[in-house]
Chains A and B, each alone.
Chain A
Amino acid sequence: MPDAAAPAPSANGEVPLVEVVDLAKHFDVSKPFLNRLLEAEQRQVLRAVDGVSFTIPRGKTFSLVGESGCGKSTVARCVVGLYRPTQGAVLFDGTDIAGLRTRAQIRPFRKRLQMIFQDPYASLNPRWRVSNIISEPIRAHGLASSQQEVQSRIDDLLTHVRLTPADGEKYPHEFSGGQRQRISIARALASNPEFLVCDEPTSALDVSVQAQILNLMKDLQRELGLTYLFISHNLAVVYHVSDWVGVMYLGRLVEWGEKRRLFRYPRHPYTRMLLDTIPDLDMSGRDRQPVAGEVPNPINPPSGCAFHPRCPHANARCTEELPRALPVEGGGQVACHAVEEGRLAVEDRGTITPPPIEDALRAGA
Chain B
Amino acid sequence: MSDALLSVQNLRIEFPTRRGTLVAVDDVSFSISPGEVLGVVGESGAGKSLTGNAIIGLLEPPGRVAGGAITLEGRRIDNLSYDRMRRIRGREIGAIFQDPLTSLNPLYTVGRQLVETILTHTDMTPTQARDRSIELLQEVGIPAAERRIDSYPHQFSGGMRQRVVIALALCANPRLIIADEPTTALDVSIQAQILALLRRLCRDHGTAVMLITHDMGVIAETANRVAVMYAGRLVEIGAVRSVIKQPKHPYTVGLMGAIPAIGSDVDRLSQIEGSMPRLTAIPPGCAFNPRCPHAFERCRSERPDLIASDESGVACWLFDEDASDVPMEVAGHA
Interface residues of A (CB under 8 A from B): 1, 4, 67-68, 176-179, 206-212, 214-215, 218, 233, 235-237, 239-240, 260, 263, 273-274, 277-283, 287-291, 294-295, 351-352
A-B contacts besides A207-B255, A281-B217, 5 pairs, CB < 8 Å: A68-B158, A218-B268, A236-B262, A281-B261, A283-B245
Instruction: Tell which of B160, B196, B263 touches A263, judged by Cβ atoms closer than 8 Å.
Output: B263
With a cutoff of 8 Å between Cβ atoms, the chain A residues found around residue B272 in the complex are: 208, 211
Instruction: Tell which of B190, B220, B221, B264 touches A294, judged by Cβ atoms closer than 8 Å.
Output: B190
Chain A nearest CB from B291 CB (Å) reads: 9
Contact A214 B188 (CB under 8 A): no
Contact A67 B44 (CB under 8 A): no
With a cutoff of 8 Å between Cβ atoms, the chain A residues found around residue B240 in the complex are: 283
With a cutoff of 8 Å between Cβ atoms, the chain B residues found around residue A240 in the complex are: 260-261, 264, 266, 269
Q: Which residue of A lies closest to B188 (CB)?
A: A277
Q: Tell me, in angstroms, the Cα distance from A68 to B241 when the chains sit together.
A: 31
Contact B44 A206 (CB under 8 A): yes
Chain B residues numbered 269-290 whose CB sits less than 8 Å from any CB in chain A: 269-272, 275
Centre residue among A208, A282, A295 by max chain B CB count within 10 A = A208
Q: Which residue of B lies closest to A211 (CB)?
A: B258
With a cutoff of 8 Å between Cβ atoms, the chain B residues found around residue A1 in the complex are: 265, 267
Contact A236 B187 (CB under 8 A): no
With a cutoff of 8 Å between Cβ atoms, the chain A residues found around residue B215 in the complex are: 279
Chain A nearest CB from B275 CB (Å) reads: 5
With a cutoff of 8 Å between Cβ atoms, the chain A residues found around residue B157 in the complex are: 294-295
Contact A178 B275 (CB under 8 A): yes
Number of interface residues of B (CB under 8 A): 46
B102 within 8 A of A: no
Q: Which residue of B lies closest to A352 (CB)?
A: B263
Known: A177-B44, A263-B263. A214 touches B220 (CB 8 A): no
B259 within 8 A of A: yes
Q: Which residue of B lies closest to A178 (CB)?
A: B275
Q: Which residue of A lies closest to B158 (CB)?
A: A68
25 A-B pairs within 8 Å (CB atoms) are namely A4-B267, A206-B44, A206-B214, A207-B255, A208-B271, A215-B271, A235-B262, A240-B261, A240-B266, A278-B188, A278-B217, A279-B192, A279-B218, A279-B220, A279-B221, A280-B220, A281-B216, A281-B217, A288-B195, A288-B221, A290-B189, A290-B193, A294-B157, A294-B190, A295-B157
Instruction: Tell which of A206, A212, A233, A352 touches B188, judged by Cβ atoms closer than 8 Å.
Output: A233
B232 within 8 A of A: no
